[in-house]
A and B are shown apart, each in its own frame.
Chain A
């Protein structure tokens, strides 16, 4: 009998397990794969390796401090600038609060600076909201009321009357409207819109895309985007967990969560062995945890229904290419390949890339986010080879007619064709390749729908509605069963907040009991 068993050694599972162990609990963390890291763990491709989270923001200082990450040598690594690719080689470069490019007007340059600063202020006002469980509105208990009052105070007096007005105007809006308010340059708009919807199954015209942009802005407050942040984090977290006394067991897939008399009693592994525990904390997505590992029959019907209805169909495919030589993108220098390349030439082009997914098809001209991991970690590939890692939007989880090797090849061909138009001759240098559809990501990483964020971070799946009403405080209706993955508030990305919030909530309840 152990105090807690944590399911999944992704970053959130490890954060949660470490914090629980630091608080004196006896913690076992089980992971299905033979490596920790969850969705961020490296993918092996022949004699190359590719980090799945190829660009991430560094963890917040609270996490670094609490998890004692410095003690295990955590370094966020070199910063990634963002280069927005144009069809004819006219590129824009984003670095910090500055954007530059030949075709860019001074007015857009200045507008970008102001836009960044305004959203950084909104983000700073909202950030504390992400570091605690979402407030409950029903009956409004004292602590939640206080949190809401504090948030209202920060928004009203931190932002000031005028900024608050702007914040309230945009918070539920769509990214396209907001970008059109601020900028003229379509390429500038397109690149920002693409980051606002990254990982989501939403086009830039969809309401709620400013909210997902804000969440990204809040992440960025802890440091600039880095190629190594996620890879480093999942290298360091198991050490931190070990230091805290977590019993990490790899290659231990979970078959089910044992529930008796509405109380979680432990887990059964696929090999039939059991681990009894007072608490079960799952970093698996809510559908996997509740519908599959617990099972609807153990839950109330409407709650089980709500869980099953969570929008969690992923929309991003991953293409990995091993290239015999560094590619030459029209208009870019070789040094530019150290950075993140984004192809979304306009908001309209992005929305057009989104449209087919509604009908179960993928885009003719997808939006891309490209990183070359070997530029920062040459050891990932044999000498001289370059690994290209591209997130491809939008690709449906449920392809009409179903995913086959032929359809996967068709998608890869479209991506190669697009890459060739941006970097002529790139496809000639491909030594090996792989194309992971959302369905593949689901089967490899065990995340429902292959969704990066364990479910859309739409407004109706945010805050006290994430993952669903009845489980938004990390505790589920099953006593002793907690959720701690990205499916919970505040959502996806490599933030660690869900894991941290869940651990704190569990410890608070345990202390109260």
Chain B
């Protein structure tokens, strides 16, 4: 038997946008996301960050897992799948959903598009085909994995509306957040949703991979005044933490891959308790989550701002400076807008409440020498960055 010497090499999928990213990349800093090659940093992380917050940044979303869910029982299937009440979802709208296993632990979250009667698209970060099929038993529903058949591009930032409008998408004026329209850019049919993972004004474009180059070129061909630039995953991590979005699989262990029984998290523990509706009928995990309601919560993912300018990644959280350890930072970034550290931390609750007086012990290096300081942490209810322009309809023109 002949086995090729490189038989173990897993070739990375190439997104239809990857040629454009490769042409723009100055860093050659690539990552793998769902077996696709994606940019971590294209040019300079600070520029990419500020493009989102003050101009327009473009990111490849093709690796996002996309599932087409259709059939007479599609709505019933989705109602049983996700923890959220979907009764307000209608054609032309998108909603943010999360789904749990039987134990009420979060498997993943994502966006759910109602494309038509009994026709939906579910987008998630992680592969969910097996769970969708397991959940489909007893429902007359068709589930199609369409990740590779649908190219997706995020166009985010204050000037994104002007960019797409000038590129030909005339229908955007009246498009409200979490809505979508069928439009055309560069003559190509594109489904445009007013959604994103940045906390800013922004859109996501869903299109035929064959149209990718034409649409990309049209977006980048608009006046330099709009300052469109390509963006990678690292800048996205900064803006999503500013916006307070959680990422299953990173901020907590996704239930379907958790090995240790105490690692998976319920929606409430993950800060997604607001999504859960007990009034909508049966859904997977409902009984477990009802039981959880009657118990004193033990831990919660908390948004923090952390004083000082040292990076707080990988820090422990203590109650009182030098006091007992009560939590861990899960993700953190420096917020250039706020000039402070923003973080997501998992904190153990005391009789259901957040301990007062939280401090992070920050270990950092200066010319290889390790130093340790204490930094005061301030729990936040709201996202750190919530620009007013993100929810205006029609959005502001530049």
Contacts and interface: CB of A to CB of B under 8 A. Distances in A.
A308 interface: yes
Given A262-B282, A301-B102, A296 B137 contact: yes
A141 interface: no
Given A301-B131, A477-B287, A308 B137 contact: yes
B67 to A, nearest CB: 15
B80 A297 contact: yes
Interface in B275-334: 282, 284-287
Contacts of A477: 102, 287
A299 B137 CA distance: 10
A44 interface: no
Interface string A284-310: 000000010001111111111100100
B138 A302 contact: no
B76 interface: yes
Contact of A305 (B134, B139, B287): B134
Nearest to A259: B282
Most chain B C-beta atoms within 10 Å of own C-beta, residue among A299, A300, A301, A304? A301
B266 interface: no
Contacts of B131: 301
Contacts of A305: 134, 137
B147 to A, nearest CB: 21
A446 interface: no
B282 A297 contact: yes
A301 B287 contact: no
A291 B287 contact: no
A300 B102 contact: yes
Given A291-B138, A297-B138, A297-B282, A302 B101 contact: yes
A300 B137 contact: no
Contacts of A96: none
B73 to A, nearest CB: 8
B81 interface: yes
Contacts of B138: 291, 295-297, 304
Contacts of A301: 80-81, 101-102, 131, 134-135, 137, 284
Contacts of B286: 262, 300
A296 B102 CA distance: 13
A210 to B, nearest CB: 31
B380 to A, nearest CB: 34
Contacts of B284: 300-302
Nearest to A470: B102
A37 to B, nearest CB: 31
B54 to A, nearest CB: 44
B282 to A, nearest CB: 6
A304 B282 contact: no
B80 to A, nearest CB: 5
B134 A298 contact: no
Nearest to A302: B102
Contacts of B282: 262, 297-299
A107 B284 CA distance: 60
B137 A304 contact: yes
Contacts of A300: 101-102, 284-287
Most chain B C-beta atoms within 10 Å of own C-beta, residue among A291, A295, A302, A303? A302
Nearest to B288: A300
Contacts of A291: 137-138
Nearest to B135: A301
B358 to A, nearest CB: 32
A293 to B, nearest CB: 12
A470 B288 CA distance: 12
Contacts of A296: 137-139
A308 B284 CA distance: 16
A286 to B, nearest CB: 14
Nearest to A479: B287
A297 B134 contact: no
B379 to A, nearest CB: 32
A86 B100 CA distance: 59
Nearest to A299: B282
A101 to B, nearest CB: 52
Given A262-B287, A477-B287, A297 B102 contact: no
Contacts of B101: 300-302
Contacts of B80: 297, 301
Contact of A303 (B81, B102, B139): B102
Contacts of B137: 291, 296, 301, 304-305, 308
Interface string B370-389: 00000000000000000000
B279 to A, nearest CB: 10
Contact of B76 (A297, A302, A304, A470): A297
Contacts of B287: 262, 300, 477
Contacts of A308: 137
A7 to B, nearest CB: 19
Interface in A275-330: 291, 295-305, 308
A44 to B, nearest CB: 36
A477 B287 CA distance: 8
A296 B135 CA distance: 9
A439 B347 CA distance: 56
A305 B282 CA distance: 16
A297 B139 contact: yes
A298 B281 CA distance: 9
Interface string A114-130: 00000000000000000
A299 B76 CA distance: 13
A300 B81 CA distance: 9
A308 B138 CA distance: 10
Contacts of B102: 300-303, 470, 477
A295 B81 CA distance: 15
Nearest to B76: A297
B79 to A, nearest CB: 9
A389 B193 CA distance: 69
Contacts of A295: 138
A309 to B, nearest CB: 10
Contacts of B285: 300
B22 to A, nearest CB: 41
Nearest to A138: B261
A1 to B, nearest CB: 23
B103 to A, nearest CB: 9
Nearest to B286: A262
A303 B285 CA distance: 10
Interface string B121-147: 000000000010011011100000000
B260 to A, nearest CB: 14
B288 to A, nearest CB: 8
Most chain A C-beta atoms within 10 Å of own C-beta, residue among B102, B131, B135? B102
A299 B284 CA distance: 7
A295 B138 CA distance: 7
30 contacts: A291-B138, A295-B138, A296-B138, A296-B139, A297-B80, A297-B138, A297-B282, A299-B282, A300-B101, A300-B102, A300-B284, A300-B285, A300-B286, A301-B80, A301-B81, A301-B101, A301-B102, A301-B131, A301-B134, A301-B135, A301-B137, A301-B284, A302-B101, A302-B284, A304-B138, A305-B134, A305-B137, A308-B137, A477-B102, A477-B287
Sorted nearest first, the 5 A-B pairs with minimum C-beta distance are: A296-B138, A300-B102, A301-B135, A296-B137, A301-B284
Given A297-B76, A297-B80, A300-B284, 20 more contacts: A262-B282, A262-B287, A291-B137, A291-B138, A296-B138, A297-B139, A300-B102, A300-B286, A300-B287, A301-B101, A301-B131, A301-B134, A301-B135, A301-B284, A302-B134, A303-B102, A304-B138, A308-B137, A477-B102, A477-B287
Interface of B: 76, 80-81, 101-102, 131, 134-135, 137-139, 282, 284-287
